[in-house]
Chains A and B, each alone.
Chain A
Amino acid sequence: MKRRDFFKTAAVVGVATVGSSAFGSNVAMREPIDSRTPQKINFPEKRPMITHSNRPPLLEAPRSTFSQVITPNDEFFVRWHLPDIPTFIDTDKYAIRITGNVAKPYELTLKELKEDFEQIEVTAVVQCGGNSRSAFVPITGGVQWGSGAMGCAKWKGVRLKDVLKRAGMKEGSHWVNFNGMEKPAYDKTPDFVRELNLDELNEDVMIAYQMNDEDLPYLNGFPTRLIVPGYYSDSWVKMIKDIVVTKDHTPLFFMDQAYRIAANATHGETPDHLAKMTKPITRMNIKSFIGFPDEGAEVEFQSQLVVRGVAFDGGIGIEKVLISLDNGKTWKEAMLGIDYGRYAYRAFRYSFRPNEKGNLSIMAKAIDHLGQEQPLAKDVPWDRGGYMFNGIDIVTIKIV
């Protein structure tokens, strides 16, 4: 999608979600599941996380991770699709193949990647398109994530454009395919290959080899992964093996069947009236999440409580974050932390003294520079894949 179109559609979404109630009587969106806790199991280079699967690994970060503006590598969520993932990569032999509709196909070693191109850094959020999927009722396809399938890191690498330039793209090139080293257990199962249109490749799209000043953790795609700032993580291919330039769109399961939403302005549909036209999910919508306190936490009456969390979107930038302590009747502005760029988390914090005992619900709502804001969970449009949930987060604590 071109940038201009993006702003157009985004603006429409903002308006349409306000006060929408009629998605059909059987749709009842809710807050995502928040009751799961990390298992006492360490995956390589990770601390214990919520473990949906070990094979392929599906690891989710708990709420407390999101009181930090940079997600530590060992708390960063993990999401693979296919079970055969190399457990060792010889970095001297590792190379990315760049082929297809190019004049000079070549193999790019890690050393060349680090020495032959301009090295750049970007701080960017990566979020699974299905993050918070457990908010969708009726249930939709895919892993029932809570809200921890996201993270924000400082990525270091080189521009994809520079890497493609060396190969000399031939006339008529429109698409680029990315294949990582993960493989299906059964050779007839579709491989996880993703495709981007050349129009989508701006200066920010990169091949990264470092995350928060360390090598990428193995489970986050060591030794290289694609960074597509602003986009959902299905495009952030890990352990890159092949980059193929093509003239035409390649039929691909994980582009043509999975990771798609209704191609209408709200991207909403109902189980009884599924949209006929769909399109790939691309840019993230505005979202915020409270990292502290935890759901159900006990807080002392009249003590100083500092609510902390993160807010982000697909690149427009966070204007403000509002907090409500009275179920959305009134909203007060939270303080924003340092701006690490338009693709990064913006930390927020809100300090107050609870002056009434009993249950207290804390709500957080982010607003972007264009004035678009997060809807209430119940107003987020339902879609069959359970993508792009961005409902207002609510944490209920007990004042004792």
Chain B
Amino acid sequence: MKKLLLILAFCTAMFAQVTKAVEVPYISYEIKMGKGFDEVNANCLMCHSFGYITNQGPQSRAFWKGKVDKMITHFKAPIAKGDAEIIVNYLAKHYGNGK
């Protein structure tokens, strides 16, 4: 019986670190303002932070078009055709590499 109690006490201690909800900090990843920002803000935050975008570094228009297409075809992002174009223009302008 003594042994059993010891084991129980041990188990409780091990779980002590997550006894209530943990809180993942909110980070507002800096993103450039400009034409198309509203569309990006409305369409690109549903599934992940802007960190996913800025982390890519400056890239070509074709790259950004490919990413927006990927979001729509593979991840089923509900983005209207017109918005997709505006977003690609925004990304190519503010996160572009001139190509």
Chain A residues close to B by CB (< 8 Å): 39, 41-45, 51-58, 82-83, 85, 87-89, 91, 114, 139, 141, 143-144, 184-186, 188-190, 210, 214-215, 218-219, 222, 253, 257
User: By the criterion CB–CB under 8 Å, are A56 and B48 in contact?
Assistant: yes
Which residues of chain A are near B14, meaning CB under 8 Å? 210, 214-215
Please give, as numbers and ranges, the residues of chain A lying within 8 Å of B17 by CB-CB distance.
45, 214-215
**B57-82 CB contacts (< 8 Å) to partner A:** 57, 59, 63, 70, 74-78
Contact B56 A55 (CB under 8 A): no
Which residues of the partner chain B approach A218 to less than 8 Å between Cβ atoms?
Answer: 18, 22
- CB neighbours (8 Å) of A141 from chain B are 70
What is B's interface to A at a CB cutoff of 8 Å? 11, 14-15, 17-18, 20-27, 29, 46-49, 51-52, 55-57, 59, 63, 70, 74-78
Return A57 CB to nearest CB of chain B, in Å.
6
Cross-chain contact B27 with A51 (CB below 8 angstroms)? yes
B24 touches A139 (CB 8 A): no
Q: How far is the CA of A274 from the CA of B93 in the complex (A)?
A: 28
- A58 nearest CB neighbor, chain B only: B51
Could you tell me the distance in whole angstroms from the C-beta of B62 to the nearest C-beta in chain A?
11
State A39–B23 Cα separation when bound (angstroms): 17
In the complex, what distance in Å separates the CA atom of A396 from the CA atom of B75?
A: 41
B35 to A: closest C-beta gap in Å: 25
- Is there an interface contact between A257 and B74, defined as CB atoms closer than 8 Å? yes
Contact of B25 among A54, A85, A91 (CB under 8 A): A54
Are B76 and A53 touching (Cβ within 8 A)?
A: no
Q: Are A55 and B74 in contact (CB-based, < 8 A)?
A: no
> What's the nearest-Cβ distance from chain A to residue B54, in Å?
9
A185 CB contacts on chain B under 8 angstroms: 46-47
Complex Cα spacing A215 to B59, Å: 41
Residue from A39, A45, A55, A85 in contact with B48 in the complex, judged by beta carbons closer than 8 Å: A55
> Taking CB as reference atom, which chain B residue is nearest A42?
B25
Q: How far is the CB of B23 from chain A (nearest CB, A)?
A: 7
Complex Cα–Cα for A57 and B22 (A): 13
List 14 contacting pairs A-B, 8 Å CB cutoff, sorted by A. A43-B24, A45-B17, A53-B52, A58-B51, A82-B47, A85-B24, A87-B22, A143-B52, A186-B76, A210-B14, A219-B24, A222-B18, A253-B74, A257-B74
A88–B15 Cα gap in the complex (Å)? 12
A141 to B49, CA, bound (A): 17
**B24 & A88 in contact (Cβ 8 Å cutoff):** no
B48 pairs with A53, CB closer than 8 A = yes
- List, in ascending order, chain A residues with CB within 8 A of B20's CB: 88
Given known A-B contacts A144-B56, A190-B75, A215-B15, A184 and B47 have beta carbons under 8 A apart? yes
Taken together as a complex, chains A and B put the C-alpha atoms of A43 and B57 apart, in Å, by 24
- What residue in chain B is nearest A84 (Cβ atoms)? B47
B24 touching A55, Cβ below 8 Å: yes
Q: How far is the CA of A210 from the CA of B17 in the complex (A)?
A: 13
Given contacts A87-B24, A186-B75, A215-B15, 15 further A-B contacts (CB under 8 A): A43-B24, A44-B23, A52-B52, A58-B51, A83-B48, A87-B23, A143-B52, A185-B46, A186-B46, A186-B77, A190-B74, A210-B14, A214-B17, A215-B14, A219-B24
Q: If A44-B23, A55-B48, A83-B47 touch, does A189 touch B18 (CB 8 Å cutoff)?
A: no
Question: In the complex, A58→B51 CA distance in Å?
Answer: 9
* Cα-based distance from A353 to B27 in the complex (angstroms): 43
Instruction: Find A91's partner among B15, B52, B56 (CB 8 Å cutoff).
Output: B15
CA of A253 to CA of B70, assembled, Å:
12
Q: Are A55 and B57 in contact (CB under 8 A)?
A: no
When the two chains form their complex, are residues B24 and A189 in contact, meaning their CB atoms are under 8 A apart? Answer: no
Q: Distance in Å from the Cβ of B76 to the closest Cβ of chain A?
A: 4
Q: Of the candidates B51, B59, B70, which one forms a contact with A51 in the assembled complex, judged by CB atoms under 8 Å apart?
A: B51
- Chain A nearest CB, measured from B95 CB (Å): 12
A218 to B77, CA, bound (A): 28
Indicate if the CB atoms of B51 and A44 lie closer than 8 Å. no
Q: Nearest A residue to B66 by beta-carbon distance?
A: A141
* Contact of A54 with B47 at beta-carbon distance under 8 Å, contacts A88-B20, A190-B75 already known: no
Chain B residues with Cβ below 8 Å from A222 are 18
Q: Complex formed: what's the CA distance from A56 to B27 in Å?
A: 11
Q: Quick check: A186 and B47 within 8 Å, CB to CB?
A: yes
Interface centre among A54, A82, A143, A190 (most CB of B within 10 A): A54
Give the Cβ gap from A245 to chain B, nearest Cβ, in Å: 27
